[in-house]
Amino acid sequence: MSEHTEHSESGIPVKHVIGFIASIVLTLVAAYTTVMSGLPVPWIIAIIMILAVIQAVLQLVMFMHIAEKNPIPQYGNILFGFFIAAVVIAGSIWVMSFGMHDMDMNGGSGGGSGEEHSEH
């Protein structure tokens, strides 16, 4: 609309195309590493995590204009985004371990809860 600033003078949005192609390449590399590389599992996990972080940063810069000066900086939403990402990942791992991971670490104190669990 009228307040919508035009970001490209030339017809082709170079930044977006580079970002798009780079994202696809990074994803293919991750898929190759996981499916076909035959590396040990810890290596695979480390590599795909690094690739994921690179891709996240790439998309923030290429698509989300995070490096540009914004008249209304969205710190609140960005922080909320990190909060949600942390909740989804850490929360899922914790919940899907059924909360049993802590109990193993604590040894004896977890025994009581473990019994309670087995009742159901």
Partner 1 sequence: MWDFIWNDFLVTGEPIIYGAMASIVLATVGIVFVLTYFKLWKWLWDEYLTTVDHKKIGIMYIIAALAMLFRGGVDALMMRTQLALPNMNFLNSVHYNEIFTTHGTVMILFMAMPFIIGLMNVAVPLQIGARDVAFPFLNAFSFWTFFFGAMLFNISFVIGGSPSAGWTSYVPMAGPELSPEINQNYYLLALQLSGIGTLATGINFLVTILRMRAPGMTLMKMPIFTWSALITSIIIIFAFPILTIALALMTLDRIFSTHFFTLAGEGMPMMWANLFWLWGHPEVYIVILPAFGVFSEVISTFARKQLFGYKAMVYAMCVIAGLSFIVWVHHFFTMGAGAGVNSLFSITTMLIAVPTGIKIFNWLGTMYKGRIRFNVPMLWALAFIPNFTIGGVTGVMLGMASADYQYHNTYFLIAHFHYVLIAGTLFGMFAGLTYWYPKMFGHKMNEKLGKISFWFTVIGFNITFLPQFFLGLMGMPRRTYTIEPEWMPLNLLSTTGAFILAAGFVIFTFNIYYSARYEPREKTGDAWDGRSLEWATTTPVPHYNFATIPYVNSHEAYWDMKETGATTYDESKLEPIHMPSYKGLPIIMSAIMFVASFGLVWHWFWLAIPGLLGIIICMVIRSFDFDEGYHVPIDEIKRTEEQARGRKE
Residues that bind partner 1 (CB under 8 A): 1-4, 11, 13, 72, 74, 77, 80-81, 83-84, 87-88, 91-92, 94-96, 98-100, 102-103, 113-114, 116-117, 120
Pick the closer one to partner 1 by CB: 36 or 72: 72
In the complex, minimum distance from the CB of residue 106 to partner 1, in angstroms, rounded to a whole number: 10
In the complex, minimum distance from the CB of residue 38 to partner 1, in angstroms, rounded to a whole number: 18
Q: Following DSSP, what letter does each residue of the chain receive, concatenated?
A: -TT-----SSSS-HHHHHHHHHHHHHHHHHHHHHHTS---HHHHHHHHHHHHHHHHHHHHHHTS-TTS--SS--HHHHHHHHHHHHHHHHHHHHHHTTTHHHHHHHTTHHHHHHHHHHH-
Residues 6+ apart with CB under 8 A from 52: 30
Pick the closer one to partner 1 by CB: 13 or 25: 13
In the complex, minimum distance from the CB of residue 80 to partner 1, in angstroms, rounded to a whole number: 7
In the complex, minimum distance from the CB of residue 16 to partner 1, in angstroms, rounded to a whole number: 9
